[in-house]
Structure 1
Amino acid sequence: MGRLEDRNVAFVRTVVSSGLRLQEAASLLTFEVPKRRLGGGRYYRGKIAAAVTRSKKQRTYYVSSDAVGDVESYAASSRAWVIRRAQKAGRYDRLPEMRMLIEVTRGLKPKVRWCDQDGVIGEQELSLLTWQERILLFEEGPHGPEPLWLWLNERGLPFLPSSWENVFRTANKRCERILTPPEHLRRDPHQVFAPYATVHSGRHSFALYMLVVLNYLMDQRFGLTPEERRDFRLLYGDPWFMVQNLLGHSSRETTVKHYLAPVADLQLRAMLASTDDDPAEAPMPELDAVFARIARESEGIQDIDSRLVPAAGNAA
């Protein structure tokens, strides 16, 4: 993974813990990632701009404290290093277009104000900025212009969303090369020894993990009676509805279609849907055991470090 390993780790952990799509996670600006604070909890909340989502609707996303910590470490190390190199090389001074940030307004619909290279002032609602417009945004740092685009390449320039596919492709090939034993030692020449992941696998992992955890919390940790569970679902929606909103799906059916099917062999429809059984009479196994069982008995699911990782993602 080279000198930008911390960038790649931070990106993967952001996707896995938030369920963001490739373009959504790849288009983040530095100030759109929540900042960790003392006593802030395990998850932090942020906003995804409408222009970079598939539905073109702004939504709230949640990202783990560990992932935010990875982003902050990346920003303070390799990201700062490539920016300083680019400044010394005069790379930003030669860009054909740059918009220097003046301010980001407060309120329900924050606006970004900037000044271009000709001194012309521009303004746009933050949520309506496309990824192509976001790439042009810079701020004045202690040593010169610095990109507001979070993920940068080794030249200190914005790392395009499509480039992440190649990062994963390279990592998959490396895993296959290292983990696949020599041909003369294989019992089955067609056996797969290495995991295979895509950016979208992280989104799938998030969805499946949240479905299991939310149902577990509702049925076990909260200790709700069947009547209380029904009332809870009427007020807040069942886990399928919650995950639908987290993923930004337009309908519950889309969520069920894409995330129930991979685990149909385990009859998780009954386990995850509402039930009239008292959970105290039939407690769910420990979550790690549930995840391992799903991976073991379901086609297309890999178990990596006690997490569900679909073997191949789709466009959900």
Structure 2
Amino acid sequence: MAVWLDFLSVFDRCWDKASVGDVEAFKDWRLTDVLNGGRIRPTSFDTDRAALNCFYGWAATRCKVVNPVATIRTGRRPNRRGGLADGSGLGGRDPLRPAGATRRQVKWMLRPAFEQWRDIGLRGYGFDGLRRSEWRGYNEDRDTAFVDGLYGTGLRLQEWASILDVEVPSAVGPRSARLWLSAACIKGGGEGRVYRIPRPALTAVHAYLDPLEGSRAEVIRRARRAGRYADLAGIRVVTAYNARSKTLRVQGDACSELLPLDVIGPDERRRLFRATSEGLEPLAVWLAPNGMPKKAHGWEDTFGDANARVERAWRGDTVDADSEHMPCPLWARPHMLRHSFCLKWFCVLSLVWELRVNGFTSEELKDLREQFGDIWYQLATLMGHATASTTRDYYLEPFTGLQVDYLMSLLDEDEKTGIDALVRAVAQDTGQVLTEVPALPGDGR
């Protein structure tokens, strides 16, 4: 604020008379003016922008001052990410935000840290590995299945929160099952795509969906007894699902209609129900305790509650003044699990690529820079990014210098077994890596 007021004083402008043009000039001076010896980075100006917007937002209601900070004004409520929600549920970007200012820092979790956070925050355990006696865990199977799915699939929060039960494979067989992600649920639109879910994560989802022991069936029964589904307006009743064509048959006023999954967005998916002999039930996989489909932003609260439990368990009965204000070192956000998924697959692809280029000189590797970018094209496919540059810009820098041993610690034993088989197959093609040698026929040794 002091820098802003000094800037205005140069032009003899009072703070309550500042215009949008003044703020734009302030931005240019802070970022690009060659006569300014104290230029700052875009991320630092993003802090200036937020502070000015906060101050003038406060002054607008108390002093009747016009806010000169250029923002998206559409009369819609702000979403939880700080942008403004439009009809599609996606946030807008303030025009004053510098292009180089990222929304968040890239962070990831090693698998042991993720499992510790999950067990303490969502399963009622302590740092000593023992479950707390007062723990009830009414939604434990749902919450653990959800976070395991985020960590194992790399999907965005909105994407994983919008899946339907008809999209979940019925059998738990292969190491990694194939699922379809609807185009209408993907950030920014585009085409639907295949994604994979590891067997342990899919097993957890099936446990939650179990009609006898899963908590989902119980909340549906409670909602029926309370009459919540019978009183709903605007629901759509699904009578059939075709897995081959990925279409739903939905009841209409006069006749039924076929509806492709790729055109059904998150909001409409929460209105899909089926009629059973016991009554209506939602097709959405993830349900709130009241039996209604859980909205994506509600999972932010779940993560927040889990982080609070972890912090309480970490602090315990400590009253040490030195550690009172220390932040808890173990915490998680939904997008951190997506970053962790990308880091794990960067490990896998790097191991395979390392075998492919083993033996090349440094000069030859320079000539293969574009070919080395194949890792990022494959990562972009796994992450659902439109271009490899998006994956590289967001994920390359944090990965620089990481050791393979560090990357491998992200993987559990089941995943390490699969990677070992993959590396063996690649190694056999190169002829540069020794593997086990089978005994000769008839050799008794």
- SS of match in other structure, 1:93: coil
CA distance in 1, matches of 2:228, 2:254: 20
- SS of match in other structure, 1:153: coil
Deviations 1:149-207 (A, max 9, x none): 10001111101111111110111111112112555446555543341211111111101
Partner of residue 278, structure 1: none
Q: Is 2:234 the partner of 1:97?
A: yes
Partner of residue 132, structure 1: 267
Residues 36, 68 of structure 1: 8 Å contact kept: no
* Structure 1 vs Structure 2 CA RMSD: 2.9
From 192, 209, 218, give the equivalent of 1:75: 209
Give the superposition deviation at 1:219. 3.4
From the two aligned structures, give the one with the greater strand fraction: 1
CA distance in 2, matches of 1:119, 1:173: 51
From 365, 379, 392, give the equivalent of 1:243: 379
Residues 344, 407 of structure 2: 8 Å contact kept: no
Residues 47 and 8 of structure 1, relative CA distance in 2, 3 Å threshold: same
The residue correspondences of 1:151-190 to structure 2 (distance < 5 A) are 151-180=286-315, 184-185=319-320
From 183, 187, 195, give the equivalent of 1:50: 183
TM-score by length of structure 2 reads: 0.54
Give the superposition deviation at 1:261. 2.3
CA distance in 2, matches of 1:155, 1:258: 38
CA distance in 1, matches of 2:326, 2:179: 42
CA distance in 2, matches of 1:112, 1:17: 27
CA distance in 1, matches of 2:341, 2:321: 33
Which is greater in Rg? 2
Partner of residue 202, structure 1: 337
CA distance in 2, matches of 1:213, 1:258: 18
| Stretch deviating more after TM superposition (56-65 or 84-93) | 84-93
Residues 119 and 94 of structure 1, relative CA distance in 2, 3 Å threshold: farther
Partner of residue 18, structure 1: 153
Partner of residue 30, structure 1: 165
Give the superposition deviation at 1:288. 4.1
TM-score by length of structure 1 reads: 0.75
- SS of match in other structure, 1:94: coil
**Identical columns (%):** 33
- SS of match in other structure, 2:139: helix
CA distance in 1, matches of 2:283, 2:247: 15
Give the superposition deviation at 1:99. 1.3
CA distance in 2, matches of 1:184, 1:224: 55
Residues 288, 294 of structure 2: 8 Å contact kept: yes
Give the superposition deviation at 1:287. 4.9
Give the superposition deviation at 1:135. 1.0
Dislocated runs of 4+, deviation >3 Å: 181-194, 217-220, 222-227, 284-289
Letter in 2 for 1:68: L
Deviations 1:74-132 (A, max 9, x none): 0111001111111222221111122111222354x53222115x565343211110111
- SS of match in other structure, 1:213: helix
Partner of residue 193, structure 1: 328
From 323, 340, 354, give the equivalent of 1:219: 354
Q: Is 2:391 the partner of 1:258?
A: no
Task: List gaps (5 residues or longer) in structure 1.
Answer: 272-283, 293-316
- SS of match in other structure, 1:132: helix
Residues 249 and 70 of structure 1, relative CA distance in 2, 3 Å threshold: same
Give the superposition deviation at 1:212. 0.8
Residues 224 and 142 of structure 1, relative CA distance in 2, 3 Å threshold: farther
Residues 15, 25 of structure 1: 8 Å contact kept: yes
Partner of residue 123, structure 1: 258
Q: Is 2:223 the partner of 1:86?
A: yes
Letter in 2 for 1:20: L
CA distance in 2, matches of 1:113, 1:159: 23
- SS of match in other structure, 1:156: coil
Give the superposition deviation at 1:240. 1.9
| Relative contact order, higher structure (CA 8 A, sep 6+) | 1
- SS of match in other structure, 1:44: strand
